[in-house]
Amino acid sequence: MQCHCSSGRDFEACCGPFLAGEATPDSPEALMRSRYSAYATENVDYVLATHDPDTVGEVDREGALAWARDSVWEGLEIVDTAGGGPGDDEGEVEFIARYQSEGHSVAHHERSRFRRIEGRWYYLDGDMVKPKPVVRSMPKVGRNEPCPCGSGKKYKKCHGSA
């Protein structure tokens, strides 16, 4: 079975050993992937066990479990990573987690922070990534200017009437 984290690897060779407690992730990215797989498999105990010990008490276990159960998990995209190497105690992972909730497609885009404590990586917190503003590639067409489609009509009477 392919791993839920979209690594392209088999679950038993990717996140499975982490969720089973047989291994620990060696980087923030590996931890992020395993946490996504934990949500996809409703393993909220793993999510809590890999949350920063100083703030794990703030996590709503029942809410997290309901979210995991009520969602259809579609995949994870790692956008960027920073830090988290062998000599680092901090790291960041920007990701997009895709899932269906109440019939709607959701793309949860977050930049998460992780820290290493006594050799183990933990999820610390994260910030939602806001979409970049739309930048026009063409100049704005005025209502009374000719329609750019070439019809010869004013824009407001052609494609501007929507």
DSSP 100-119: EETTEEEEEEEEEEEEEETT
Note the pLDDT of residue 137.
79
DSSP for residue 85: S
The reported pLDDT for the residue numbered 162 is 60
- The model's pTM is 0.81
pLDDT, residue 82, reads 97
Q: Which residues contact 103 (CB under 8 A, 6 or more apart)?
A: none
Kind and range of the H or E element at 133?
A: none
What is residue 105's predicted lDDT score, i.e. its pLDDT? 96
Domain extent listing, the chain? 11-131, 134-162
The reported pLDDT for the residue numbered 114 is: 98
According to the 3-state scheme, what is the secondary structure of 30-65? Answer: HHHHHHHHHHHCCCHHHHHHCECCCCHHHCCHHHHH
Q: Which residues contact 153 (CB under 8 A, 6 or more apart)?
A: 146, 147
Structure tokens at 46: 């793993």
pLDDT for the residue 121:
98
* All residues at 6 or more sequence positions from 122 whose CB lies less than 8 Å from its CB, including other chains: 31, 50, 51, 52, 53, 114, 115, 116
- In this structure, how many other beta carbons lie within 10 angstroms of the beta carbon of residue 150? 8
Per-residue pLDDT of the chain (162 residues; tens, 9 = 90+): 999 999 999 999 999 999 999 999 999 999 999 999 999 999 999 999 999 999 999 999 999 999 999 999 999 999 999 999 999 999 999 999 999 999 999 999 999 999 999 999 999 999 999 877 878 777 888 888 888 888 889 888 888 876
* Domain 11-131 fold: Nuclear Transport Factor 2; Chain: A, (3.10.450)
* CA-based end-to-end distance of the chain: 47
